Structure 1
Amino acid sequence: MRDKVLAYGTTNGSTARIAESVAEVLRARGLAAEALPARSVPDLAPYEAVLVGGGLYAGRWHKDARRFVRRHRGALAQRPVWFFSSGPLDATAAERDIQPVPGVKRAMASLGVREHVTFGGCLAEGAEGRMARMIVRNGKGGDFRDFTAIETWAAAVAEELCGASSK
């Protein structure tokens, strides 16, 4: 069994925690999986499937997630790939399906990405960046991640991966 990798781009750690939760679910279902910062993945040869997550900032995926997809475009096109985004600092991600931002949508189409999902984000006291600190100071921060939804999505991905490897 070859590994699965969850590559993520994050500034304050919220997306990393989502990726780690997804990896935990995959491992609990007998799959080898690791969550790594997108900039630290030099090669996709060891991985049979890839999940890429990015925090949303001003309508764009985190730069590390964008760069990862550009750098590994050829390898991603040859593997099953899923995308996730994190970022809405309100309950909208739990209330409805949020479409991917335009850059993510284009990458999905060109790579044949299996699925994209958006989860709520988290912005807490001590966040890095002037805008992030201002958002928290104005009372607009908080933790809107729904770990039940995250784990449910991860279980569905695991089911698809298990079905693919038994064929």
Structure 2
Amino acid sequence: MTLRVMVAYATKYGSTAEIAELVAATLRDEGIEAAAAPASRVADVRPYDAVILGSALYMGRWRRDARHFARRHRRALRERAVWVFSSGPLDPSASERDIEPVPSARRAMCRIHAREHVTFGGRLEAGAKGRMAKMILEEDRGGDFRDFDAITKWATATAGEIIALRAEL
């Protein structure tokens, strides 16, 4: 029987969506049927064996769509293996050390009994809208700090855990 995983995400400028797509592609490379979709568009997680929920960090918080996803699907998520990730630091810190989940992510993790959290670097590039984004860019603190090798490594390890869970059942 094929394992099915939903990679749901909440993004502001698309960077987290790209991370979610890479995670889903890596899971598929490992033999798992995986789909990535915006958290706001996922109507039901019950058809999936596991769920990965990711959110951009904005002003030190998880995006509202990720928080609502965790609340809306909490019963079904508690019956599945769930991993979570954040993306957002606009510096190399996520590649240099483990970063604890922000409070809103921690609350979501407790609500859905998530197994693990990881933080990946974020991206903010010219053209981003919003007062805070413009301020960051004017201070020359933007850029792309995603580490695609680290994302792939994490997704591959998570795929191994998902496969091992299936073997236990």
Shorter-chain TM-score above 0.5? yes
Correspondence 1:27-42 to 2 at 5 A: 27-42=28-43
Structure 2: state its 5+ residue gaps: none
C-alpha distance in 1 between matches for 2:98 and 2:141: 21
Q: 1:154 corresponds to which residue?
A: 155
C-alpha distance in 2 between matches for 1:129 and 1:67: 22
Deviations 1:121-141 (A, max 9, x none): 000111132211221122110
Deviations 1:55-111 (A, max 9, x none): 001111011111111111111111000000000000110111000011211222232
C-alpha distance in 1 between matches for 2:34 and 2:53: 13
Correspondence 1:2-41 to 2 at 5 A: 2-41=3-42
C-alpha distance in 1 between matches for 2:111 and 2:119: 19
TM-score for both structures, normalised by structure 1? 0.96
C-alpha distance in 2 between matches for 1:109 and 1:8: 18
Look up the SS of the partner of 2:117 in the other structure: strand
The letter of the residue matching 1:19 is A
Correspondence 1:34-53 to 2 at 5 A: 34-53=35-54
Number of matched pairs:
167
Q: 1:110 corresponds to which residue?
A: 111
| Alignment partner of 1:93 is 2:108 | no
Report the identity percentage: 56
Q: 2:61 corresponds to which residue?
A: 60
Look up the SS of the partner of 2:114 in the other structure: coil
TM-score for both structures, normalised by structure 2? 0.95
The letter of the residue matching 1:24 is A
